[in-house]
Amino acid sequence: MKKEQNKEARITSCPPEVLALVERFDQNLESYRSGKYNETQLRQEFLNPLFEALGWDMTNRAGYAEAYKEVIHEDTIKIGQETKAPDYCFRIGGTRKFFLEAKKPSVYIKEEVPPAFQLRRYAWSAKLPLRVASHFGTSGRPDAWSCKESFVNIYLIVVAFIALLFPGIGLILRKIPVSLINLPNKDYWLSTERKEETIAVLSRQFLWFGSATLLLLLDIFHQSVRVHLGKTQTLEHPVASIVVYVVFTTFWSIALIVKFMRMP
């Protein structure tokens, strides 16, 4: 009962113009989704009145100079060598706040990827705060999002951790007790006269492993940035990158084990 009352309160607090637009759209939903109803019609009959009702000056009735208009229709954004034009750019005091890209109602924006990436590409290029893909499924499509700053910061922290960890393996091995090092024939290889040479070999091997891990991270990051910029809708070759990394790791592990299983 309380839930229904809250819902009713939210509806009654909505501007009547918005309620009228919602009702009209709902009544003619099938016609609008037929594909014949285009973007221009949607903008003129629904989007412009909607944002007017929400308080935005869609036609510059205030007579502001171009630099201070609240809403710019067909704004201009430079993306690489191309010039793009978002349908709407909403501004406060001449500062961009967000973009709006109109799609005709037959486009199912909840599941179609291109509209979302088109808008994110605009925001990324205009350096607006936005949410970017932070996780990708097995198909290479995004399935989780975070703000741009969090994505970049987490990536940098992980890269810095790996860049410091693997070069420091030799120091760690010299400090920890021999009993904690799991190595074939370790009594031989970690004996007093051979320990330093063995640790030097392990240090070199882990530098190779760390380098491969960093290359994988850089490759995945590069692919994800291309997605954020709208160059592609999915990661381009995530499976190939992981397969190459797994193959390298397998051969690296086998070579390391074989080396220490053999005693001169």
Q: Give how far the C-alpha of residue 200 lies from the chain's centroid of Cα atoms, to the nearest Å.
A: 40
At the second CATH level, the architecture of 2-128 is Alpha-Beta Complex (3.90)
Q: Which residues contact 45 (CB under 8 A, 6 or more apart)?
A: none
CA distance 98 to 101: 10
Cα distances (angstroms) measured from residue 210 to each of 169, 174, 214, 215:
10, 19, 6, 9
User: What's the burial of 120, exposed, middle or buried (CB within 10 Å: 0-12/13-18/19+)?
Assistant: buried
User: Model pTM?
Assistant: 0.60
Kindly tell me the sign of the dihedral angle through the C-alpha atoms of 55, 56, 58, 62: positive
Q: How many CA atoms lie within 13 A of 37 on its CB side?
A: 20
Domain ranges of the chain: 2-128, 148-261
pLDDT in tens, the chain (264 residues): 444 445 444 445 788 999 999 999 999 999 998 888 999 999 999 999 999 999 999 999 999 999 899 999 999 888 878 888 899 999 988 888 889 999 999 988 877 777 877 887 788 777 776 667 778 887 888 777 777 778 888 889 998 999 888 888 888 988 888 888 888 998 899 898 989 999 999 999 999 999 999 999 999 999 988 887 767 878 999 999 999 999 999 999 999 999 999 877
Residue 256: closest CA among 181, 179, 180: 181
Q: Name the residue type at position 80.
A: G
Q: Is 239 exposed, middle or buried (0-12, 13-18, 19+ CB in 10 A)?
A: exposed
pLDDT tens column, 155-208: 899 989 998 888 888 889 888 888 888 889 988 998 989 899 999 999 999 999
Phi, psi of 250 (to 5 degrees): -65, -50
Instruction: Judge whether 118 and 231 are in contact, CB under 8 Å.
Output: no
